[in-house]
Amino acid sequence: MLSRVADSLYWMSRYLERAEHTARLVNVNLYLTLDRAPGDAARHWGRLLAGLRMPPSMPSDSDPAAHATGQVLDLANRDSIAASIAAARENARQVREQISSEMWQQINRLFLSVRRDAPDPGWTGRTHDFLMSVIEGVHLFQGITNATMTHGEGWHFIELGRYVERAGATAALLEVHYSDPPGPSTTGVGGEYVEWVGLLRSCCAFEAYCRQYTADLRSDRIAEFLILSAQFPRSVRYSARHIQASLQTIAQLTGRGPGRAERLAGRLLASLDYGQVDEIMSGNLLEYLQSIVRQAGQIGAAVHQQYVSYPVNQALSA
Amino acid sequence: MAVVPGTGTGSGALGQTAPFREYTLDHAYDEMFDAAGQARPQYAHLFERLLTVDPTELRQRQSAADLAFLNQGITFTVYGQKEGTERIFPYDLLPRILTSAEWDVIERGLTQRITALNHFLKDIYNEGRILAEGIVPRELIYSCRHYRREMRGVPVRRDVYVSVAGTDLVRLPDGRFAVLEDNLRVPSGVSYMLTNRQVIKNIFPTLFNRYDVRPVDQYGQALLATLRSLAPAHRPDPTIVLLTPGVYNSAYFEHTFLARQMGIELVEGRDLFVHDNVVYMRTTGGPRRVDVIYRRVDDDFLDPLAFRADSQLGVAGIFNAFRAGNVGVTNAVGTGVADDKALYAYVPAIIRFYMAEEPILSNIDTWLLHRDEDRAYVLDHLDEVVVKAVGESGGYGMLIGPQSTAAEREEFRHRIEADPRNYIAQPTLALSRAPCFIEDQVQARHVDLRPYILCGDRVTIVPGGLTRVALRKGSLVVNSSQGGGSKDTWVLNA
């Protein structure tokens, strides 16, 4: 397929995943605020913004919750939910003929509703509804994509976009939490528990975790679940497996040999397949997570180099 | 505007029977009724159907059709609107019906015309015999903005410069078809022709069945075959692409529609590159050679190395690849000189010169305003004539004398005197009128006809074409950008 089209499908998918992740994070944190000690608010909201890779600085006079939600809801802000969805839709529009009409209608509907219903910054009753509508809208789009699009090259670029974004975002979120982990000294009674629940819920993982490990929340088990679980769809390992599978299929469909992107993805997957949580925890966890974030970025760049922006001289003489 | 009184026998009665109560005849040719108010034989079934139609049911079917159009995104963008508003292309339910005999004349006439025009283009970009013999004045050609000196001496596959043409025909009061203008650069509208047919089949299935209507769905295949025949001779299994300016272009829907119908790749300038005078497209599987480009980008924007250097829509070096014979580009660069409205007046002479035949389809009388006599007459009769700028399309740059204000006429007087070569004038035509379903009544509106002519290794004309209708009452402007719509056109097999 045309390189430009592959690129647009990839980015459409990444932006949607980003919007969903952001919406969930904000939603979870809004609820957590209710259970937190008031003095901790600035720190937590700062962490949320850091987890989203947005500037964490907080103007001292504002309500931290309002400020943070304002950032993600502000249409003018490049990193806001609305901006992500607008970018996704713009990419979809450029390749409208490559996606099914159901997909186009859904992403268009989502875009229009986000524009129309963006609530005021700060926590109002409508904020939760808005964030849920974004999450559900993206889920619906992903479901429609799987159901109505041929699982060929284009579909695999969409998968790739989603899992590259997810791997990086999950690792970044974990890094922020583990760099300042909740302990009995830092938060109020029961506060530690609330923070871990917040982390798990941010990855839709609380119930799944409990089913596997019971409600005994331990930092090593949480790390194991969110990094190394082979079956939980939001773990880093699961994302890495899907990245590798899609890359392999794309390489086959395009008739290209395995390139740098496949090697990077294979290496990442192998380190996760054979990783052990006690080794990870006893080593430098933060560095480990930062490395994953870096690798996800490198995979994205390698895909772009290999399939989209390859230099023509090399390609023609090959 | 006399309403013809009913004859009492029922089948021709106008003016008394719903839904024809508001139908009137005037001096223009009426597609459905003859001068005596009788329905023409080819319209008999439609007439009977309309007498018994339930307007509510018809309106419901129309709403369903509107929704289908919208859902499929069969829209067009109107220039000059903020945010590029997409609108459903307005259409009218009632088909326009042509007999086989009427179509035969049109088909032969258009075939003759496109053949002559291709000969003409080859001639003026090579030896220029027609200019040497003074049949067409040199100044007219060389002063035309669309004449491209870059094309001189460049070989064109099969000598086909125009492979896709849309020629606008009007029916005169005596029932003959005449050519209003040729469109030889990037004519659009064929996607509406194809989608109209789909929609009408849904609205009037029984009626469609009663008539024996020639199909039009083969347009995609015919176009593909035409494009294939224009590939460089040494490329037996050509890769064909459609080059579009992109999503912001008003005809983008048509580009995607046609690419899909033909099963070819839709590309933008940035997807292509030229290496060693060969055109490639950038795919995930590596560069892939391109053999034929059906380009819907204007000459000016096609190649920043050859034409406008600031173009973001074209491909650097594509003209060189074309010149080297490594890629087919169609319609060729520089065809606009042949659809210049001033050149139009010479087309009958062009046909005689190259084909040694009389034109089958006649022109409309045209005054060329760079000629002193013509200009003097027209400036004196501005309120009676239609003045057109030679390079414009879409109904812009036009003065319709009888409907103009004194201020508008003054404005045009100044423009004409400032740049006479840029204007022509024609008598205000009584375009023929066809029945339309408007506000639950059948009313007459002015129509024209745009068949689409394909020219490759042979000339193929899909039966019918786009009948454009001036939906506003009394309006003569059929262009979509100014309140026009379309109708399905049925060419019968008998």
- Whether A86 contacts chain B with CB within 8 A: no
- Say how far apart CA A112 and CA A106 lie, in whole Å: 10
Domain check: are A20 and A45 in the same one?
Answer: yes
Residue B400: left (phi > 0), alpha (psi -120 to 50), or beta? beta
Q: How far apart are the first and last CA of chain A?
A: 19
The number of C-alpha atoms within 13 Å of B67 and in the hemisphere containing its C-beta is 8
On average, the pLDDT of chain A sits at 88
Chain B residues with beta carbon closer than 8 angstroms to that of A255: 285
pLDDT digits 0-9 by tens, A68-103: 777 777 777 878 898 999 999 999 999 988 898 899
Q: Tell me whether residues B284 and A255 touch, CB distance under 8 A.
A: no
- Asked if the domains at B101-355 and B365-427 fall in one CATH topology, the answer is no
pLDDT for the residue numbered B57:
84
Into which CATH architecture does domain B365-427 fall? 2-Layer Sandwich (3.30)
Domain check: are A214 and A280 in the same one?
Answer: yes
Residues B40/B33, Cβ–Cβ less than 8 Å: yes
Distance from CA of B354 to the nearest CA of A (A): 44
DSSP A265: H
Q: For residue B185, which of B53, B332, B82 has the smallest C-alpha distance? A: B332
Structural domain span for residue A298: 152-311
pLDDT for the residue numbered B309:
95
Neighbours of A1 (CB within 10 A): 20
Domain check: are A83 and A200 in the same one?
Answer: no
pLDDT for the residue numbered A118:
73
* Side chain identity at residue B342, one-letter code: A
Q: For residue A119, which of A62, A81, A174 has the smallest C-alpha distance? A: A81
What is the pLDDT averaged over residues A178-201? Answer: 76
Residues B334/B125, Cβ–Cβ less than 8 Å: yes
Domain check: are A157 and A112 in the same one?
Answer: no
From A2, A96, A253, residue closest to B271, measured CB to CB? A2
Residues B328/B241, Cβ–Cβ less than 8 Å: no
Categorize the per-residue pLDDT at A56 as very low, low, confident or very high, splitting at 50, 70 and 90: low
- Whether A254 contacts chain B with CB within 8 A: yes
- Say how far apart CA B111 and CA A241 lie, in whole Å: 61
- Whether B71 contacts chain A with CB within 8 A: yes
Q: Tell me whether residues B284 and A307 touch, CB distance under 8 A.
A: yes
Distance from CA of B163 to the nearest CA of A (A): 26
Q: Which residue has tokens 């030679």?
A: B390
* Side chain identity at residue B7, one-letter code: T
Which two three-digit tokens encode residue B102? 């009427």
Domain boundary among A103, A125, A149: A149
pLDDT for the residue numbered B75:
62
Distance from CA of A278 to the nearest CA of B (A): 41
This complex has an ipTM of 0.84
pLDDT digits 0-9 by tens, A99-153: 988 999 999 999 988 888 777 666 677 888 889 999 999 999 999 999 999 999 9
H/E segment holding residue B47: helix B44-51
Kindly identify which residue of chain A lies nearest to residue B256, measuring between CA atoms: A97
Question: Regarding the domain delimited by B101-355, which CATH topology (the fold level of the hierarchy) does it fall under?
Answer: Rossmann fold (3.40.50)
- Whether A311 contacts chain B with CB within 8 A: no
**Strands B466-470 vs B484-491: parallel, antiparallel or unpaired:** antiparallel
Chain A interface disruption, residue of B284, B288, B290, most A CBs within 10 A: B284
Rg (CA), chain A: 20
Domain check: are A179 and A115 in the same one?
Answer: no
Residue A317 forms part of a structural domain:
no
- Say how far apart CA A64 and CA B132 lie, in whole Å: 83
Q: Tell me whether residues A2 and B260 touch, CB distance under 8 A.
A: no
DSSP B9: S
**Contacts of the segment B83-89: beta carbons below 8 A, 24+ positions apart:** B84/B248, B89/B192, B89/B480, B89/B485, B89/B486
Domain boundary among A116, A149, A182: A149
- Say how far apart CA A54 and CA A21 lie, in whole Å: 14
Largest CA distance in chain A: 67
Domain check: are A177 and A119 in the same one?
Answer: no
Kindly identify which residue of chain B lies nearest to residue A315, measuring between CA atoms: B286
From A3, A93, A105, residue closest to B284, measured CB to CB? A3
- Say how far apart CA A78 and CA B234 lie, in whole Å: 51
Largest CA distance in chain B: 77
pLDDT digits 0-9 by tens, A12-33: 999 999 999 999 998 898 888 7
Kindly identify which residue of chain A lies nearest to residue B267, measuring between CA atoms: A2
Q: For residue A276, which of A316, A221, A314, A238 has the smallest C-alpha distance? A: A221
pLDDT for the residue numbered B2:
30
Distance from CA of A40 to the nearest CA of B (A): 45
pLDDT for the residue numbered B53:
82
What is the pLDDT averaged over residues A184-201? Answer: 75
Domain check: are A217 and A251 in the same one?
Answer: yes
H/E segment holding residue B491: strand B484-491
pLDDT for the residue numbered A180:
80
H/E segment holding residue B102: helix B100-124
> Interior CA angle at B277 toward B275 and B280, to 5°?
50
Alpha carbon A108 to chain centroid, angstroms:
21
Task: Please list, in sequence order, all residues whose beta carbon lies within 8 angstroms of the beta carbon of residue A263, skipping any fewer than 6 positions away.
Answer: none
Residue A235 forms part of a structural domain:
yes
Domain boundary among A149, A166, A189: A149
From B260, B284, B287, residue closest to A254, measured CB to CB? B284
Chain A residues with beta carbon closer than 8 angstroms to that of B281: 2
Residues A83/A75, Cβ–Cβ less than 8 Å: yes
Domain check: are A124 and A158 in the same one?
Answer: no
Neighbours of A271 (CB within 10 A): 16
Give me the residue spans of the domains in chain B: 101-355, 365-427
Q: Which residue has tokens 């939603």?
A: A27
- Whether A61 contacts chain B with CB within 8 A: no
Q: How far apart are the first and last CA of chain B?
A: 33
- Say how far apart CA B147 and CA B332 lie, in whole Å: 12
State yes or no: pLDDT of A37 exceeds 60: yes
Residue A316 forms part of a structural domain:
no
Residues B282/B272, Cβ–Cβ less than 8 Å: yes
- Whether B219 contacts chain A with CB within 8 A: no
- Say how far apart CA B99 and CA B378 lie, in whole Å: 37
State yes or no: pLDDT of A303 exceeds 70: yes
Which two three-digit tokens encode residue B402? 């009888």
Domain check: are A59 and A138 in the same one?
Answer: yes
Chain A residues with beta carbon closer than 8 angstroms to that of B284: 1-3, 6, 153, 250, 254, 256, 307-308
Provide the edge-to-edge strand list for the sheet that holds B328-330. Answer: B265-267, B240-243, B292-295, B328-330
The percent of residues above 90 in pLDDT, for chain B, comes to 63
- Say how far apart CA A94 and CA B271 lie, in whole Å: 13
- H helices of chain A, in order, are 3-35, 41-51, 64-73, 81-94, 101-117, 125-148, 153-179, 191-202, 206-213, 219-223, 236-254, 260-273, 277-282, 285-307, 312-317
Domain check: are A131 and A156 in the same one?
Answer: no
Kindly identify which residue of chain B lies nearest to residue A303, measuring between CA atoms: B284
Q: For residue B98, which of B493, B490, B494 has the smallest C-alpha distance? A: B490
Instruction: State the pTM of this model.
Output: 0.85
SS3 B429: coil
Chain A residues with beta carbon closer than 8 angstroms to that of B259: 97
- Say how far apart CA B356 and CA B358 lie, in whole Å: 7
With a cut of 50, which residues of chain B have pLDDT below it? 1-13, 79-84
pLDDT for the residue numbered B345:
92
Total number of domains in chain A: 2
Q: For residue A269, which of A302, A301, A307, A299 has the smallest C-alpha distance? A: A299
Chain B interface disruption, residue of A4, A95, A250, A306, most B CBs within 10 A: A4
Domain check: are A158 and A302 in the same one?
Answer: yes
Domain check: are A156 and A217 in the same one?
Answer: yes
pLDDT for the residue numbered A114:
87
Distances (CA, A) of A258 to A302, A311, A314, B99: 12, 17, 16, 62
- Whether B271 contacts chain A with CB within 8 A: yes
